[in-house]
Amino acid sequence: MRNYSEAEIRDVVVIGHGGSGKTSLGEAILFDAKLVTRLGRVDDETSNLDSEPEEKKRRGTINPHVYAVEWQKGKLNLIDTSGQGDFIVDTMVAIGAADCALCVVSASDGVQVYTEKTWEEADGLHMPRVLFVNKMDRERADFDGVLEQARRVLSPAAVAVQLPIGAESSFEGVVDLIGQQSYRFSEDGRDVTVGEVPAAMAAAVKEARDKLIEEVAGSDDELMSVYFDAGTLTDEELQIGLQRAVAAGKLFPVFCGSAAQNRGVQALLDGLTALLPPASAGRSRTGTGKAGAEVRRSPKSSEPMSAYVFKVIPSEVGKLALVRIVSGKISADAPIWNATHEKGERVGQLYVFTPGKRTSVPEAHAGDIVGLAKLKQTRIGDTFSDEKELVKFAPPAIPAPVVRYSLHIKGKTDEAKLAQKLHDIHEEDLALSVEYDPATKETLIGGCGPVHIEATLDKLRRVGVEVDLAPPRVPYLETIRGRAKNVEGKHKKQTGGKGQYGVCYLDLEPAPRGSGLQFEDAIVGGSIPRQFIPSVEKGIKERMVRGGLAGYPIADVKVRLFDGKYHDVDSDSRSFEMAGSKGFLTAFKQAQPVLLEPYMKIEVAIPEEYMGAIIGDLNNRRAHIGGMEAKGKSQVVMAQIPMSETLDYSAFLRSATGGRGSFSLATSHYAEMPQQLADKVIAAKKHVEEEEE
């Protein structure tokens, strides 16, 4: 593959709901571009794009896959993405790496949840977009119905540039509304027969073409004047006007076909090349330069080099960084500056991607997407920059996990191996969260949904790491709301030789929330020797870790040590540690102990029609509603909710809203748990045993 300039490259992310046929469309594109000799299929596991074992198992895309094709003397960098909610973060990051989007919609299923979500993301970046109504050969295929739905749900600027010839089992080809020609396809779709518009479709074609001309004329003042004067537009005026309208985001052309039958795909490729703007006309990116100054980089090879990493994938040559070049050029076997880590690295080979192989190129220009091998420090979200003309782009925003599980090692797997493999997977998947909770002493793995976690476990199994999952323990705390005065803590033990003896007297009261232990030394007159006072405090701290009500850590108490007794021979540090622990436990039980539960801040984004049901459910989950606000097409409910009530919230919200809702969680505060619920938690735990004398 030759080198292409920014004026010859188009970066297109393929978006849409899972099952709409994005990967099948990619397979047909590869076949028509003569990069493969056989049309790959997802269902029979011959896909050239969904190549990972986890993808073959689930028959769906998980990771973004980049593939480059040469078409009409230009280069298309296409990014196949997942349309599943559990992998939506990678999809959103991939959208940010492209300049244009190809939105695939099923002719039988129409616009679905993740069609909307990915469309909105592209809309926020003002990306030029094209729609492809796929699966015209399937039962219930309805082009007119899907077009009307797309205009209603996605944008009223969606406009047909093709009409299908037939539908379902009688689908034969497409009619081009600009050139007013029909295209029928051979059995494998590679050979195309061009003809006249079918007589039976003449009226429908005229009506749709008139609609297209009106929409294009309405997008441009100059063309509107021509349209008023002539009553129509020429084919050339229509083509040029549509190009301008697409580049400006004023119109979104709608194509149609069947990826599985490879019908309409070549016409779509012609449309992508003719209508979508090249990288040279793409959006500029803004980053931070030296001393925090704002820096803008345009997609020109003449500007200083800048690029960013949007995906890291494993390969036989080590980790491979997928890089979008924003400006300038990158050359093979040349030094490169990682502005994020402020370290230099050396580029090995540069790769462009075609199915099943990578082709090395000597250099790549602004607007291109390439793979860089053997970079040691590079991570997703890193920026490469000219060291003297510094710029650093903001890393992608990664939402907090919506599901968490506790990991437990299974079999003979050792912890070090598990930690290393989780680290490796996390480098490839920023949406995966791995953390250790010191409160519950658990390793927690979090992600965007159960399927995301299952796919991660499959990757662990592939390298011989077996784990079990369990719901995470809620990190409850214990505290008091009363006081205890003049409580004796006594440890006395005689074993025949030197004994153990220590006595302390304590007062206990609540401390401000979040203050932990406040220890006051009020000993006067030497009733406890100075060297043993830290031992009393140490015994109290040890007891607080072990709990006194249900075995959860104790927090936010004030202890006043004011008196005690000792023995010249039998007293030692350990004796006073035990005395402090026993005295504190006795005082704690007298001071009205209570259980504290953690609260989370939750924001739930939902279509307005679900507001009543979601707020009702949050109230049932003991949430405190803090407010509501409109954000785009969604309503966002803000609340504080007990952590214990969020463990199954992901599954509930997906079921209740048909996948159209989303939520985020963040740690908030601790609050006292209602007694009837606390009693259940306490009953589920073993009672804390008193230390034996």
Contact (CB, 8 A) for 105 and 16: yes
Section 280-285 average pLDDT: 92
DSSP character string of 499-552? -EEEEEEEEEEE--TT--EEEEE---TTSS-GGGHHHHHHHHHHHHHH-SSSSS
Q: How confident is the model at residue 185 (pLDDT cuts 50, 70, 90)?
A: confident
Q: Which tokens belong to 319?
A: 């980790």
253 has which bridge partners? Answer: 159
Please give the span between the terminal C-alpha atoms of the chain, in angstroms, as a whole number: 82
Section 524-543 average pLDDT: 94
Rounded percentage of the chain residues whose pLDDT exceeds 90: 61
Give me the pLDDT at residue 689, please: 40
**Residue 71 three-state SS:** strand
- Residue 300 contacts by C-beta under 8 Å, 6 or more apart in sequence? 6, 280, 327, 328, 366
104 has which bridge partners? Answer: 132
Lowest mean pLDDT among 425-429, 500-504, 551-555, 637-641: 425-429
The radius of gyration computed from the CA coordinates of the chain, to the nearest angstrom, equals 33
DSSP character string of 120-164? HHHHHTT--EEEEEE-TTSTT--HHHHHHHHHHHT-TTEEESEEE
Q: Which tokens belong to 124?
A: 């926020």
Burial class (CB within 10 angstroms; exposed 0-12, middle 13-18, buried 19+) of 569? exposed
Run of H or E including 308: strand 306-313
Give me the pLDDT at residue 219, please: 93
Task: Reply yes or no on whether the pLDDT at 53 is more than 80.
Answer: no
Residue 655 has a CB neighbour count (10 Å cut-off) of 10
pLDDT tens digits, one per residue of 642-673: 999 998 898 899 889 888 888 888 889 999 99
Domains annotated on the chain, with CATH = 9-281 (3.40.50.300), 285-385 (2.40.30.10), 403-470 (3.30.70.870), 478-591 (3.30.230.10), 596-679 (3.30.70.240)
- Residue 180 contacts by C-beta under 8 Å, 6 or more apart in sequence? 197, 205, 209
Section 199-224 average pLDDT: 94
Give me the pLDDT at residue 693, please: 37
- Residue 676 contacts by C-beta under 8 Å, 6 or more apart in sequence? none
- Residue 112 contacts by C-beta under 8 Å, 6 or more apart in sequence? 17, 20, 106
| Amino acid in position 168 | E
Distances (CA, A) of 319 to 313, 397, 454: 6, 22, 23
Q: How confident is the model at residue 318 (pLDDT cuts 50, 70, 90)?
A: low
Q: How confident is the model at residue 412 (pLDDT cuts 50, 70, 90)?
A: low
Contact (CB, 8 A) for 232 and 180: no
What is the rounded average pLDDT for all residues in the chain?
90
Rounded percentage of the chain residues whose pLDDT exceeds 70: 97
Give me the pLDDT at residue 509, please: 96
Give me the pLDDT at residue 12, please: 97
Give me the pLDDT at residue 421, please: 87
- Residue 399 contacts by C-beta under 8 Å, 6 or more apart in sequence? 89, 431, 448, 664
Give me the pLDDT at residue 349, please: 84
Which of 48-62, 178-192, 570-584 is predicted most confidently? 570-584
Burial class (CB within 10 angstroms; exposed 0-12, middle 13-18, buried 19+) of 474? middle
Contact (CB, 8 A) for 543 and 537: no
